């Protein structure tokens, strides 16, 4: 049996196709990977976080962006769509298309069963190479549970876990307080199990 090699494409070819596509794909090592649509619960949590953090960033030199903005990790060549990205200062773009940034300060990923291993494993390994990244969050959509990784001065990472709606997470780098009750506002986990 002969296996046919897949033709590798360049980042420029990926961006050209991606900008015309009707669905989103990530890019790594010369290959495109289609993304599945997000569930209602996933979107609800994403919206809740956007509202909670966005309001606190109003008069600061930072902005929060939802999942249509790509992040480019320079050393690996990964283009990915985090669920939420906070950028402080001027965004640094990969090219004139201005849809792929190089300098995220905070990244939040909402875990889904199909992407959880990728988000917490290989993807986070590549995210850690981003010099600008200071905080990384993994947010469960199946229960009240958030993992917060914060970068230390020596480039090591510290993990804090939160599993109670009465808890708050202080995100020092952007001077924000993320309350779990806000993250999970009107989230029905029973609905999540039916999806």
Q: Tell me the pLDDT tens digit for each residue of 147-180.
A: 999 999 999 999 999 999 999 999 999 999 999 9
Instruction: Let me know: does 31 contact 79? Beta carbons within 8 Å.
Output: no
Instruction: Let me know: does 50 contact 64? Beta carbons within 8 Å.
Output: yes
Q: Which domains does the chain have, with CATH numbers?
A: 36-194 (3.90.1570.10)
How is residue 93 annotated by DSSP?
B
* CA 131 vs CA 83, 106, 177: distances in Å: 19, 11, 23
Per-residue pLDDT reduced to its tens digit, 57-78: 999 999 999 988 999 998 888 8
Instruction: Let me know: does 69 contact 85? Beta carbons within 8 Å.
Output: yes
Looking at the predicted structure, is the pLDDT value of residue 3 above 90?
no
Measured CA to CA, the distance from residue 131 to residue 110 in angstroms comes to 22
Phi, psi for residue 136 in degrees, rounded to 5:
-135, 135
Q: How many residues does the chain have?
A: 195
């Amino acid at each position: 049996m002969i296996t046919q090699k897949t033709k590798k494409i360049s980042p420029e070819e990926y961006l050209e196709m991606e900008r015309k596509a009707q669905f989103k794909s990530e890019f790594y090592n010369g290959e495109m990977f289609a993304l599945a649509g997000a569930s209602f619960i996933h979107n609800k949590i994403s919206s809740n976080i956007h509202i909670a953090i966005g309001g606190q960033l109003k008069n600061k030199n930072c902005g929060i962006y939802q999942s249509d903005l790509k992040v480019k990790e320079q050393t690996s060549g990964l283009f990915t769509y985090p669920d939420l990205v906070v950028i402080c200062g001027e965004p640094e773009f990969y090219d004139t298309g201005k849809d792929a940034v190089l300098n995220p300060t905070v990244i939040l990923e909402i875990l889904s069963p199909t992407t959880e291993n990728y988000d917490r494993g290989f993807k986070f390994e590549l995210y850690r190479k981003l010099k600008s990244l200071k905080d990384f969050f993994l947010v469960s959509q199946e229960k009240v549970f958030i993992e917060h990784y914060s970068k230390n001065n020596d480039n090591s990472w510290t993990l804090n876990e939160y599993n109670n709606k009465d808890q708050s997470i202080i995100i020092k780098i952007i001077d924000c307080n993320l309350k779990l009750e806000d993250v999970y506002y009107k989230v029905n986990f029973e609905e999540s199990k039916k999806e």
